[in-house]
Structure formats: C-alpha cells, structure tokens
Amino acid sequence: MEYRTEHDSMGKIRVPADRYWGAQTERSYENFRIGTEKIPPEMIAAFSYLKEAAAIANFRLGVLDERRMGLIRTVCAEIREGKLDGNFPLAVWQTGSGTQSNMNVNEVIANRGNEIAGEKLLHPNDTCNMSQSSNDTFPTAMHIAAVMEIRRHLLPSIGLLAGTFEMLEEKYRGIVKSGRTHLQDAVPISFSQEISGWRSSLLRDRDLIEAALTPLSDLALGGTAVGTGLNAPEGFDREAAKAVSELTGMEFRAADNKFHALTSKSELVNAHGSLKALAADLMKIANDVRWLASGPRCGLGEISIPANEPGSSIMPGKVNPTQCESATMVAVQVMANDTAVGIAASQGNFELNVFMPVLIYNFLQSVRLLSDSLRSFNDHCCVGIVPNREKMRENLHRSLMLVTCLNPYIGYENAAKTAKKAFAENISLKEACVARGFLTPERFDEVFRPEEMAREQKA
C-alpha cells in the first residue's frame, strides 16, 4: 500500500494514499481498533448536510467566500451520492464526543475539495469546521440523522403495514371467531375487529413517533464548544438551521438553549421510547399471527400464512412462521437498544454528553431494523393472511365462554354452573343448561346466537 504524509497539531503521520482522510482520522483509526461497529452511514450523510449548511450560513454572514463555499457544497453532494464511500472508517468506540468523526468529515471535505480546486483552499479546521465545534456538530448530526431516517423510512413502513391490515379488515368483515384473554377462551370477536386492533396500535405508535420529531428538530449547531457560541458569528445558528431545512426539505430549528442541546439527550431518549412502543406492539402482533397460524393440525390453525421456505432440516414438509420470528427478534433488539440509549443519555457531564457515538449507533439501528422488519413482515407474511373459516367456526362453537350470553337470562352464577357442567361432562352448553333446568331447549335456541355476540363495527 502506498502512503502520503499528513500532519496535525500533534505532528506528522502516514495516511493511505488512496484515501481522502487526514492525520486526525488516521490517529483515531489506529488507536481505536475495537469491534466491527462503525459510525453509521446515516450519520455521515447527516454530517454532509450539516457541513454544507454551515458553509452556506458562513457565506451568508460574510465570513466565507463563495468559491470555498462552492467547493464544500460539491464535496458534500459527493458524500451523499456515495462517491466517497470508504473514507469514513472510524469505530463507534472512540471519543464520546465524536470529535474524530467530525474531523474525519472535515478532512475528507478539505482534501477532496482541494483536489477539485487544484490548490489548497480548504483547511479541515479553519474552513470546513468554521463557526463549529465537534461538541455542537455531532449532536446536530444525530438529530438530523434521526429525523431523516424516521421520516424517510420508518413512517412509510408503518403506513404500509397499517394499510395491509385495513385491507384485510374489509376483505374478511363478518367472520366471527372466539376471542382469547390470558391465552384462554373468551367471548366472540370478529376477525376484522381483531385485525383493527393491530392496525390501530400501529397508527397510535406512528402518532407517538411523529410527536417526538418536533423536539428532535432542534439543532445544537451554533453552541460551539460549551454552548456559548464562541467563534461563531451572530445569527449563525439560525442561518445554519435554515440551510439544513432547505437542503433536506424538512423543518429544523436552532435550539433555544445550547447548553441543554450539548449536554442533554432527552429528545433522543424520548424518541427512542416511542420506537420501543412500536417494537412492543410489533412483538404482540407478530406473536398473535404465529399463534393463530400454529399447527397446521395440532395448533390453533385459525389462519394460514405464506409458506416461504422449508422449516426443518430433518422434518420433511415442516413450515415455520419465520417472518414472525424475525419481527419478534427485531423487537427484542430495539427494546435492548432502549436501555443503551437511556444509559448513554445519562452521561452528560457538566457541559457535554460524552456517550454520543454509542447512543446514535443504537438509535439508528432501531430505526433501520424496525423500518426493514415492518416491510418484510408485510410483504412476506401479512399480505398473505387467509382465515380458516371452518376452524374459526369450530372453535367458536366449542368455546365454553359463549355461556356469557346467558347471563341476562339465567344469571352469572347459574351460567358458571352451566359452563362447569359442560366442561366436566364434555357435553354442549345447551345440554348442560337444559339438564340444570335453567332454560328449555326452545328458549336456549332463541337466546344463544354466538355470531351475534361480536358487535361488528368499523374501528
């Protein structure tokens, strides 16, 4: 491998000749060979928006000339287009402020920009980091990445699955089945009502996530090192936030209190809490689907789901609810990530949080996993849900909890006696009720109508 010599305030160091990063990136790359987890590409993209916006703001405020602004903008666009992939190698397990990743982006922009210009016009610190500090850029990039990934990927995935459930509700309206509580038989419910619960849970989670985006749209940029805005021109924070909004097409604002913005990560904790809520509901929905599809002969067997791949290396013909299992594993990971996010956010010592890389790594992993999982669960499982009407009807009419409809006619205690007798003697509710003398056969048939016990209504 060929090398070139770069330098920083600590001296000279060799850097791979085919990479655009500089001395500070190389020092971090060599000093933190820990794990395989790298700063997420979503953060690099967010940094490209941030650096471009900062250059625009500095130009508008008269502290950066148009040519240098143009070079920075050109390289930032190349970063987003993937032309500079391979130039951002740093580990999550670095300094807790993310300083080296901020400098990684600065060095790549400077070296690539100077290559384009044919002369040294950009300096990593003096130009690319103008009016900024790692302490305000890294938390700003965190918020930009979080908002963009949620809006671009997660919210559409939630809408996709919710739309599928709405389609299934309409398609299978009118089918009545046994309800279940505590994993025990309960009073009847329509299949559409059951599905509507899944749909409404997703839509409520979407509302919670969207509400969390408002505080996430506040940016720390302009606070520089400790929140005072030292070395940033007056109005830089507002101009930079305005430019980020223009570049992304999403609304961002300058945080009112930069001291809070640098040290507290409450907005990310709050937002990840809503991601955990979505994960909890995804766990419940996927478990419902695989329970209902269990069998095909020795389980509930009330629905069929697509058979996507063989389920066993030894049992021929076995097919498993693999999409459900994948979704529930994702839910477990997101719930675990919430713990990491919360603990990391608690480490705001004095004027700066110093657990930011691990916090955003886990946050973005949760967004990515949920976005992909919801889409996969939709495309490879939920769109193919088909009710087994005969099995639903069989289970419905075998349920002892149908006795609940007799409460108004024979009372709770007599209804309980009827159910217990039917269960103990393995006879029907009708036979037990008549044998007890609570109702005549004719009167029982008049009041016992299982299909009418589920009050069908569009949720």
DSSP string, 65-118: -HHHHHHHHHHHHHHHTTTTTTS---BSSS-TT-HHHHHHHHHHHHHHHHHHHT
| Tokens linked to 386 | 């088909």
- From the candidates 131, 312, 366, 373, give the one annotated as an active-site residue: 312
Torsion of CA 280, 281, 284, 288, to 10 degrees: -160
Reported as half-sphere exposure (CB side, CA atoms, 13 A), residue 221 has a value of: 39
Please confirm, yes or no, whether 260 is among the known catalytic residues.
no
C-alpha dist (Å) from residue 203 to 129, 196, 207, 208, 257: 41, 10, 6, 9, 32
User: 23-31 and 99-117 are packed helices; what angle lies between their axes, rounded to 10 degrees?
Assistant: 140
Among residues 73, 176, 91, which one has the least CA distance to residue 127? 73
Evaluate the omega torsion of the peptide bond into residue 296 and state whether it is cis, within 30 degrees of 0: yes
Among residues 26, 179, 14, which one has the least CA distance to residue 88? 26
Q: How far apart are CA 42 and CA 368, in angstroms?
A: 10
**Tokens 């507290």 identify what position?**
264
Question: What's the angle, vertex CA 427, arms to CA 425 and CA 433, rounded to 5?
Answer: 100
Please confirm, yes or no, whether 245 is among the known catalytic residues.
no
Q: How far apart are CA 23 and CA 12, in angstroms?
A: 7
Structural contact between residues 136 and 353, judged by C-beta atoms closer than 8 angstroms: no
Determine which helix (DSSP H) or strand (DSSP E) holds 27, and give its type and residue range: helix 23-31
Among residues 132, 7, 121, which one has the least CA distance to residue 72? 121
Neighbours of 260 (CB within 10 A): 17
The neighbouring-strand residues paired with 14 are: 5
Q: How far apart are CA 103 and CA 261, in angstroms?
A: 20
The residues carrying an active-site annotation are 182, 312
